[in-house]
């Protein structure tokens, strides 16, 4: 009987084109799915797009199109990318699909009827010009509106809340007594950061925008993340809609794969919602880290967003799939850099794997005209190679089940390296010189071919375009790579015939490729271009600049602002009796690090209250992409000097 397996990616926001971060999660799921299918599982692989909300509404407005037109275009880009990189999903859900919207309405209704929703007031930071509410964590580094960088004020709005707090004990049990969140240390992080301090109920409706699902019992309210988004995992199976009938076969999900950014919602709100709906809980939430670019978070304005199409066109899709899956350590961040990628392609794929296949096939052609004879002679080194090859499939299976893909690949590549070493140890070119060693030579080449069979078959889920070619070259047919035969050695027919083919992974010239990649995806190039264009379009004259009064001061004391994770309160000696400035730099500085520093501040900015503290100006900082650094001046500059 076939076993069922259900795996999901997050549904991505179609607010910008997909990049290698989105690619990572989706390709990771695809590799798992292909492995499971190879094992005989009946798989449901779901991905999609999360299309509602204020941000999309705003972006569409800026682009002069309707929100639906806006999301249609980007959702198509996602689908095109998945096709291009051979992501073989079963279902693509869009939260604007009718069946999903209908089901979301039903889910809200059920939650209300069961007493898990209540109407109250949402308190937040409101930006009047943008007509938008923001949470504290969304504000910019100065505590201003993240869109227009103007002042925000405390405001309230009528909203529905989901009683997350009612599930606190059950969630703590889920996180401490089960394996739901992987890696385990992330579960501990959640308990300490969110459950222990006391779970707050979550706001699940808004009235300040219209692009979303209307609540059936109160139509001026729009479903606001996360109920709309999270329920995709069940509506796509037909929950509360007539479109599909797959809940019985595929719920609960086996794996939800997400990155750390949305772990909290999947580890707390999602299970609580399911508990409220009396549905079984998913088995695993697999949380991976971020792909950063040279240690810096990818961002459009820095211009370091890596476009998968650019890489795929130049190096082949499998190469990119392999590289990102191999580089991401389980649960932690991974760093993308052009250099690491080129070197990885050369070492693992061109030198180790590609070479093993081409050398072995070439030797079978050269010494036996492409078909091995039946005579065999066992020898030294055989047992070690065979034992490693036979243990490989169970080891890879275990890692796949634990979603540790990088380790699965490392395991396979270790056997590939072992096989290369076996060539050096057995020296077939020497055996070939002595006709009496033909049987030994045939054994050596057979052992190599059968090791390649196992490795290439296990690599197929990761590199579905190239591995069938490798298998064809060594003469393996479909029956030779059935899953049950991957843990056994000696499956290829004794008189196997190989077929010479193209080089699988050509060796890359490092300097040429780095130069090429730096010209197309190096940080800052495009970001600067955007900045430069904006600068040209927005020039000011010197008088305008002189309106901003900049002066120097020394930080005399500095402390955290209570109730805020972002704000620091600084007392300054400004040479004029002192002033207080509140600055959103707590993420980058400990208070004591700033004491004694000479800084530059805007002296004539209108005073503002941030988290109840008056700020009399603004400190100048550099935005370094990933971090923010305060601009400092020499110690001998007197406090209160004018900067111009």
Closest CA to 77 of 126, 120, 133, 15: 15
CB of 143 or CB of 183, closer to ligand MSP: 183
Find the largest Cα–Cα distance for the chain.
99
Nearest one of 493, 504, 496, 497 to 468, comparing CA atoms: 504
172-211 footprint of ligand MSP as x/- string (CB under 6 A): ----------------------------------------
Residues 3-22 that bind ligand MSP (CB under 6 A): 10-13, 21-22
CB-based closest residue to ligand MSP: 21
Residue 482 DSSP code:
-
Beta-strand runs (E) in 484-561: 550-560
CA dihedral 583, 588, 593, 599 (to 10 degrees): -50
Side-chain-side CA neighbours of 63 within 13 Å: the count stands at 17
Instruction: Find tokens 């402390």 and name the residue.
Output: 559
Classify 254 as helix, strand or coil.
Answer: coil
**Residues 267-296 within binding reach of ligand MSP (CB under 6 A):** 290-291
How do 132-134 and 117-127 pair as beta strands? antiparallel
Binders of ligand MSP among residues 298 to 317 (CB under 6 A) are 298
121 binds ligand MSP (CB under 6 A): no
For ligand MSP (CB under 6 A), the number of binding residues is 19
Distance from chain centroid for Cα 453: 31
Q: Which is nearer to ligand MSP, 341 or 471 (CB)?
A: 341
Q: Which is nearer to ligand MSP, 286 or 473 (CB)?
A: 286
Give the angle subtended at the CA of 301 by the CAs of 76 and 124, to the nearest 5°. 85
In the complex with ligand MSP, the residue whose CB is nearer, 229 or 491, is 229
Cα-trace Rg, the chain: 30
Please state whether 488 falls in left (phi above 0), alpha (psi between -120 and 50) or beta. Answer: beta
Q: Which residues contact 515 (CB under 8 A, 6 or more apart)?
A: none
Q: Among residues 15 and 497, whose Cβ is nearest to ligand MSP?
A: 15
User: Using CB under 6 A, which residues numbered 212 to 231 contact ligand MSP?
Assistant: 229-230
Task: Give the residue with the Cβ less far from ligand MSP, 311 or 393.
Answer: 311
Q: Pick between residue 22 and residue 264 the one whose CB is nearest to ligand MSP.
A: 22
Interface mask (CB under 6 A) for ligand MSP, residues 48-67, using x and -? --x-----------------
Please report which residue ranges of 538-570 form alpha helices under DSSP H.
Answer: 542-546
Q: At what angle do helices 20-38 and 308-315 cross, to 10 degrees?
A: 60
Query: Least separation, in Å, of the C-beta of 14 and ligand MSP?
Result: 8
Task: Return the residue of 166, 262, 439, 595 that touches ligand MSP, per CB under 6 A.
Answer: 262
Shortest distance (Å) from residue 517 CB to ligand MSP: 18
The answer to whether 113 contacts ligand MSP (rule: CB under 6 A) is no
Question: Contact between 403 and ligand MSP (CB under 6 A)?
Answer: no
Q: How many CA atoms lie within 13 A of 227 on its CB side?
A: 37
Q: What residues make contact with ligand MSP under the rule CB under 6 A?
A: 10-13, 21-22, 24-25, 50, 229-230, 232, 258-259, 261-262, 290-291, 298
């Amino acid at each position: 009987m076939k076993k069922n397996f259900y795996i999901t990616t997050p549904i991505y926001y179609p607010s910008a084109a997909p990049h290698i971060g989105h690619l990572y999660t989706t390709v990771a799921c695809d590799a798992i799915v292909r492995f499971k299918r190879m094992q005989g599982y009946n798989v449901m692989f779901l991905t999609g797009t999360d299309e509602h909300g204020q941000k999309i509404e705003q972006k569409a407005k800026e682009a002069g199109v309707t929100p639906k037109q806006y999301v249609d275009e980007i959702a198509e880009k996602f689908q095109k990318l998945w096709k291009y990189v051979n992501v073989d999903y079963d279902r693509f859900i869009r939260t604007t699909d009718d069946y999903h919207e209908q089901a979301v309405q039903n889910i809200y209704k059920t939650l209300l009827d069961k007493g898990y929703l209540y109407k109250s007031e949402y308190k937040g930071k409101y930006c009047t010009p943008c007509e938008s509410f923001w949470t504290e964590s969304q504000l910019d580094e100065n505590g201003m509106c993240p869109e227009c960088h103007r002042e925000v004020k405390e405001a309230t709005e009528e909203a529905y809340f989901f009683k997350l707090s009612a599930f606190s004990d059950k969630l703590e049990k889920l996180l401490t007594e089960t394996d739901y969140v992987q890696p385990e240390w992330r579960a501990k992080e959640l308990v300490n950061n969110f459950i222990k301090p006391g779970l707050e109920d979550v706001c699940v409706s808004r009235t300040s925008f219209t692009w979303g699902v209307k609540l059936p019992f109160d139509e001026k309210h729009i479903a606001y993340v996360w109920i709309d988004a999270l329920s995709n995992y069940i509506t796509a199976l037909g929950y509360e809609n007539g479109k599909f009938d797959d809940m019985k076969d595929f719920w609960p999900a086996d794996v939800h794969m997400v990155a750390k950014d949305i772990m909290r919602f999947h580890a707390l709100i999602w299970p609580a919602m399911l508990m409220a709906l009396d549905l079984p809980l998913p088995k695993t939430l697999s949380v991976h880290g971020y792909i950063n670019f040279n240690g810096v978070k990818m961002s459009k304005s820095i211009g370091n967003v890596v476009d998968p199409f650019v890489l795929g066109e130049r190096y082949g899709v499998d190469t990119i799939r392999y590289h990102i899956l191999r580089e991401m350590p389980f649960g932690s961040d991974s760093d993308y850099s052009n250099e690491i990628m080129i070197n990885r392609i050369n070492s693992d794929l061109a030198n180790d794997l590609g070479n093993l296949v081409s050398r072995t096939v070439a030797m079978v052609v050269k010494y036996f005209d492409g078909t091995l004879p039946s005579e065999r002679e066992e020898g030294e080194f055989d047992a070690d190679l065979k034992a490693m090859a036979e243990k490989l499939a169970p080891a890879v299976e275990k890692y796949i089940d634990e979603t540790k893909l990088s380790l699965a690949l490392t395991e396979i590549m270790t056997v590939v390296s072992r096989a290369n070493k076996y060539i050096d140890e057995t020296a077939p070119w020497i055996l070939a010189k002595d006709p009496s060693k033909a049987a030994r030579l045939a054994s050596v080449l057979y052992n190599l071919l059968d090791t390649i069979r196992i490795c290439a078959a296990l690599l197929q889920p990761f590199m579905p375009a190239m591995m069938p070619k490798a298998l064809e070259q060594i003469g393996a047919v479909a029956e030779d790579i059935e899953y049950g035969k991957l843990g056994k050695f000696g499956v290829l027919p004794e008189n196997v015939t190989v077929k010479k083919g193209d080089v699988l992974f050509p060796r890359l010239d490092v300097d040429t490729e780095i130069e090429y990649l730096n010209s197309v995806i190096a940080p800052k190039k495009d970001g600067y271009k955007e900045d430069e264009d904006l600068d040209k379009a927005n020039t000011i004259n010197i008088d305008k600049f002189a309106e901003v009064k900049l002066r120097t001061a020394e930080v005399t004391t500095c402390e955290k602002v209570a109730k805020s994770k972002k704000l620091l309160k600084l007392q300054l000696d400004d040479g004029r009796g002192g002033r207080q400035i509140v600055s959103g730099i707590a993420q980058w500085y400990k208070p004591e690090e700033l004491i004694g520093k000479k800084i530059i501040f805007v002296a004539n900015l209108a005073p503002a209250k941030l988290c109840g503290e008056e700020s009399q100006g603004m400190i100048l900082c550099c935005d370094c992409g990933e971090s923010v650094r305060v601009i400092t001046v020499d110690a001998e500059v007197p406090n209160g000097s004018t900067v111009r």
